[in-house]
Amino acid sequence: MDDIETIMRTAPVIPVLVLDDPEQAVEIGTALVRGGLSVLEVTLRTRRALDVLAAMTAIDGAIVGAGTVLDDAQLDHALDAGARFIVSPGLTERLARAAAARRACFLPGVANASDIMRGLELGLNRFKFFPAEASGGLKALKALAGPFGDVRFCPTGGITLQSAPDWLAEDTVLCVGGSWLVKPGTSAADVEAAARAAAGLRTNPRSV
């Protein structure tokens, strides 16, 4: 069975995908995996997102999860479509309990100390730091690392290929997420090149 820590350590970058065409999504996902990024977050932000997710689970070597999961109904739909992990922009008790009940690998979003404390109370200590740049950037993350020594993050929101290395150099950061790899109209060849560049970024070897 998957666990969220292993998934977070699989690649330095998790592409955040907003796709509506299953056929094109398989092409894009295949290019990402070929470029070295195998953990793919399919956001539930489009009409056919669940079809996209289901189609992408067939990509060899891909670990496909659902993002933008806002409630327990969406969690159920995503897991039923084959999602191996669930990402949410925030953290509610109800969603966390639903994820635990279905034994889902769950990466909820936190933006401050109270969010983290709520997560810890629910037995969680791996979080998406979201929206990373808008919530104070690296400075905020470093400040949060002080009181929460065992917590680890996947910062997402406003991160680019250029800024990712600074985030990944932090002991508390296991990976980063970002939508910069796939923009509307990006060709599969360009996606593969972007993935290769991102896959070459290193996480801090001390963050074990």
Point out the residues that are catalytic.
Answer: 41, 128
* Beta pairing, strands 39-43 & 63-67: parallel
Q: Which range of residues in 71-79, 139-147, 161-169, 175-183 is near ligand 3PG by CB under 6 A?
A: 175-183
In the complex, minimum distance from the CB of residue 141 to ligand 3PG, in angstroms, rounded to a whole number: 15
Helical segments of the chain, H only: 4-10, 22-35, 49-56, 72-80, 93-101, 113-121, 137-145, 164-168, 188-199
108 binds ligand 3PG (CB under 6 A): no
In the complex, minimum distance from the CB of residue 91 to ligand 3PG, in angstroms, rounded to a whole number: 14
Indicate the length of the chain as a whole number. Answer: 208
In the complex, minimum distance from the CB of residue 179 to ligand 3PG, in angstroms, rounded to a whole number: 3
Q: Which of 57, 88, 179, 203 binds ligand 3PG (CB under 6 A)?
A: 179
Could you count the other beta carbons within 10 Å of the beta carbon of residue 205? 7
82 binds ligand 3PG (CB under 6 A): no
Could you count the other beta carbons within 10 Å of the beta carbon of residue 73? 10
Contact 160, 198 (CB under 8 A): no
In the complex, minimum distance from the CB of residue 148 to ligand 3PG, in angstroms, rounded to a whole number: 21
Q: How far apart are CA 11 and CA 8, in angstroms?
A: 7
Q: What residues from 132 to 171 belong to the interface with ligand 3PG (CB under 6 A)?
A: 156-159
Q: Which residues bind ligand 3PG (CB under 6 A)?
A: 16, 43, 67-68, 89, 156-159, 177-180
